[in-house]
Protein backbone atom coordinates (compact mmCIF):
# COMPACT_ATOMS: atom_id res chain seq x y z
CA UNK A 1 0.00 0.00 0.00
CA UNK A 2 1.60 3.21 -1.13
CA UNK A 3 1.21 6.42 0.76
CA UNK A 4 -0.44 9.35 -0.93
CA UNK A 5 0.70 11.87 1.62
CA UNK A 6 2.95 13.74 -0.76
CA UNK A 7 0.75 13.75 -3.82
CA UNK A 8 -0.81 17.11 -3.31
CA UNK A 9 2.27 19.23 -3.65
CA UNK A 10 2.16 22.77 -4.91
CA UNK A 11 2.64 21.94 -8.58
CA UNK A 12 -0.42 19.72 -8.71
CA UNK A 13 -2.61 22.22 -6.93
CA UNK A 14 -1.31 24.94 -9.20
CA UNK A 15 -1.95 22.96 -12.40
CA UNK A 16 -5.43 22.05 -11.22
CA UNK A 17 -6.34 25.70 -10.95
CA UNK A 18 -4.40 26.87 -13.96
CA UNK A 19 -4.14 24.01 -16.43
CA UNK A 20 -1.92 24.38 -19.51
CA UNK A 21 -3.37 24.20 -22.97
CA UNK A 22 -6.92 24.13 -21.63
CA UNK A 23 -9.69 24.85 -24.10
CA UNK A 24 -10.85 23.86 -27.55
CA UNK A 25 -9.57 24.04 -31.12
CA UNK A 26 -12.13 24.78 -33.80
CA UNK A 27 -12.06 22.22 -36.64
CA UNK A 28 -9.14 20.25 -35.27
CA UNK A 29 -7.37 17.55 -37.32
CA UNK A 30 -7.75 15.12 -34.43
CA UNK A 31 -10.28 15.01 -31.65
CA UNK A 32 -11.18 12.31 -29.19
CA UNK A 33 -13.34 11.97 -26.10
CA UNK A 34 -13.35 9.51 -23.23
CA UNK A 35 -14.56 9.42 -19.67
CA UNK A 36 -13.83 7.41 -16.59
CA UNK A 37 -17.03 5.54 -15.80
CA UNK A 38 -15.95 4.98 -12.23
CA UNK A 39 -15.50 8.60 -11.24
CA UNK A 40 -17.04 10.72 -13.96
CA UNK A 41 -13.84 12.42 -15.14
CA UNK A 42 -14.33 13.42 -18.75
CA UNK A 43 -11.67 14.61 -21.21
CA UNK A 44 -11.69 15.84 -24.82
CA UNK A 45 -8.52 16.49 -26.73
CA UNK A 46 -8.04 18.51 -29.89
CA UNK A 47 -4.94 18.48 -32.08
CA UNK A 48 -3.78 20.03 -35.27
CA UNK A 49 -1.18 18.15 -37.26
CA UNK A 50 1.23 19.89 -39.60
CA UNK A 51 4.15 18.18 -41.38
CA UNK A 52 3.59 15.10 -39.25
CA UNK A 53 4.01 17.18 -36.13
CA UNK A 54 1.51 18.17 -33.46
CA UNK A 55 1.38 21.86 -34.23
CA UNK A 56 -1.26 22.57 -31.61
CA UNK A 57 -2.98 20.68 -28.80
CA UNK A 58 -5.66 21.56 -26.28
CA UNK A 59 -7.69 19.60 -23.79
CA UNK A 60 -11.07 20.25 -22.29
CA UNK A 61 -13.34 18.63 -19.77
CA UNK A 62 -13.51 18.17 -16.04
CA UNK A 63 -11.53 16.09 -13.67
CA UNK A 64 -9.71 16.05 -10.37
CA UNK A 65 -6.44 17.85 -9.68
CA UNK A 66 -4.45 14.80 -10.69
CA UNK A 67 -6.34 14.48 -13.95
CA UNK A 68 -5.92 18.20 -14.70
CA UNK A 69 -2.24 18.25 -13.81
CA UNK A 70 -1.45 15.14 -15.85
CA UNK A 71 -3.44 16.43 -18.80
CA UNK A 72 -1.53 19.70 -18.61
CA UNK A 73 1.83 17.97 -18.50
CA UNK A 74 0.78 15.64 -21.30
CA UNK A 75 -0.13 18.53 -23.61
CA UNK A 76 3.12 20.32 -22.75
CA UNK A 77 5.11 17.22 -23.68
CA UNK A 78 3.19 16.57 -26.87
CA UNK A 79 3.13 20.06 -28.32
CA UNK A 80 5.52 20.37 -31.23
CA UNK A 81 6.54 16.69 -31.18
CA UNK A 82 6.43 14.47 -34.27
CA UNK A 83 3.72 11.82 -34.40
CA UNK A 84 6.36 9.14 -34.12
CA UNK A 85 7.66 10.68 -30.91
CA UNK A 86 4.15 11.13 -29.55
CA UNK A 87 3.49 7.44 -30.14
CA UNK A 88 6.44 6.62 -27.90
CA UNK A 89 5.22 8.56 -24.87
CA UNK A 90 4.94 6.23 -21.88
CA UNK A 91 2.88 6.65 -18.77
CA UNK A 92 5.96 7.23 -16.63
CA UNK A 93 6.86 10.22 -18.78
CA UNK A 94 3.74 11.89 -17.43
CA UNK A 95 3.73 10.45 -13.91
CA UNK A 96 7.44 11.10 -13.43
CA UNK A 97 7.07 14.76 -14.23
CA UNK A 98 4.68 15.12 -11.28
CA UNK A 99 6.16 12.58 -8.89
CA UNK A 100 3.15 10.33 -9.16
CA UNK A 101 4.86 7.01 -9.97
CA UNK A 102 3.45 5.35 -6.88
CA UNK A 103 -0.09 6.50 -7.30
CA UNK A 104 -2.66 4.00 -6.03
CA UNK A 105 -4.57 1.84 -8.51
CA UNK A 106 -7.87 3.72 -8.45
CA UNK A 107 -6.27 7.10 -8.94
CA UNK A 108 -4.00 5.94 -11.76
CA UNK A 109 -7.06 6.16 -13.99
CA UNK A 110 -7.37 9.85 -13.18
CA UNK A 111 -3.74 10.36 -14.06
CA UNK A 112 -3.75 8.45 -17.33
CA UNK A 113 -7.15 9.26 -18.80
CA UNK A 114 -5.76 12.05 -20.97
CA UNK A 115 -2.87 9.88 -22.19
CA UNK A 116 -5.38 7.22 -23.14
CA UNK A 117 -7.46 9.76 -25.00
CA UNK A 118 -4.29 11.02 -26.74
CA UNK A 119 -3.30 7.55 -27.89
CA UNK A 120 -6.80 6.68 -29.11
CA UNK A 121 -6.95 10.00 -30.89
CA UNK A 122 -3.65 9.42 -32.68
CA UNK A 123 -4.73 5.87 -33.47
CA UNK A 124 -7.94 7.08 -35.08
CA UNK A 125 -6.01 9.67 -37.06
CA UNK A 126 -3.44 7.20 -38.29
CA UNK A 127 -5.99 4.56 -39.19
CA UNK A 128 -8.32 6.95 -40.96
CA UNK A 129 -6.12 9.54 -42.59
CA UNK A 130 -2.85 7.76 -43.15
CA UNK A 131 -4.24 4.23 -43.50
CA UNK A 132 -1.47 3.16 -41.18
CA UNK A 133 -1.81 -0.59 -40.72
CA UNK A 134 0.43 -0.52 -37.67
CA UNK A 135 -2.01 1.77 -35.90
CA UNK A 136 -3.64 -1.18 -34.17
CA UNK A 137 -0.60 -1.60 -31.94
CA UNK A 138 -1.31 1.87 -30.58
CA UNK A 139 -4.92 0.98 -29.91
CA UNK A 140 -3.79 -2.11 -28.02
CA UNK A 141 -1.38 -0.03 -26.02
CA UNK A 142 -4.02 2.56 -25.20
CA UNK A 143 -6.52 -0.01 -24.04
CA UNK A 144 -3.86 -1.66 -21.87
CA UNK A 145 -2.89 1.58 -20.10
CA UNK A 146 -5.04 0.79 -17.04
Partner 1 sequence: MQTAISVEKIREDFPILKRKVRNNKQLVYLDNAATAQKPIQVINAISDFYTNHNSNIHRAVHALAEEATEAYEVTRDKVAQFLNIKDRREIIFVRGTTEAINLVAYTWGRQNVKQGDIIVTTEYEHHSNIVPWQLLTQEKGAKLEYIGVNDDGELLLDQLETYLATGKVKLVAISQMSNVLGTITDMAEVMRMCKKAEVKVLVDGAQSVPHMKVDLQQIGCDFFAFSAHKMLGPTGVGVLWVRKELLEQMTPFHGGGDMIREVHKYETTWNDLPYKFEAGTPNIADVIGFSAALDYLSNLGMDFVRNHEIEITKYALEKMSTIKGLKIYGTKDISKRGGVISFNFADIHPHDLATIIDEEGVAIRSGHHCAQVLMERLDVAATSRASFYIYNTKEEVDVLIKSLEKAARLFKL
Give one DSSP letter per residue of 25-63, joined into a string. -SS-SEEEEEE-TTT--EEEEEEEEETTEEEEEEEEEE-
Report the greatest alpha carbon distance in the chain. Answer: 46
Contacting residue, 11, 25, 39, 145, with partner 1 by CB under 8 A: 39
CB of 79 to partner 1, least distance (A): 25
The answer to the question of residue 66 lying near partner 1 (CB under 8 A) is yes
Select from 18-26, 30-38, 85-93, 117-125 the region that touches partner 1 (CB under 8 A).
Answer: 30-38
Nearest to 66 by CA among 56, 74, 58: 74
The answer to the question of residue 41 lying near partner 1 (CB under 8 A) is yes
Give the footprint of partner 1 on residues 73-102 (CB under 8 A): none
Amino acid sequence: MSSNADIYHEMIVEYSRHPSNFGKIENPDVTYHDSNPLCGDSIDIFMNIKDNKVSDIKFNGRGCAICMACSSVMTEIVKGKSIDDVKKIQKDDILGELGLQNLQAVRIKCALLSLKVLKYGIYTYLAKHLNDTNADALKQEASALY
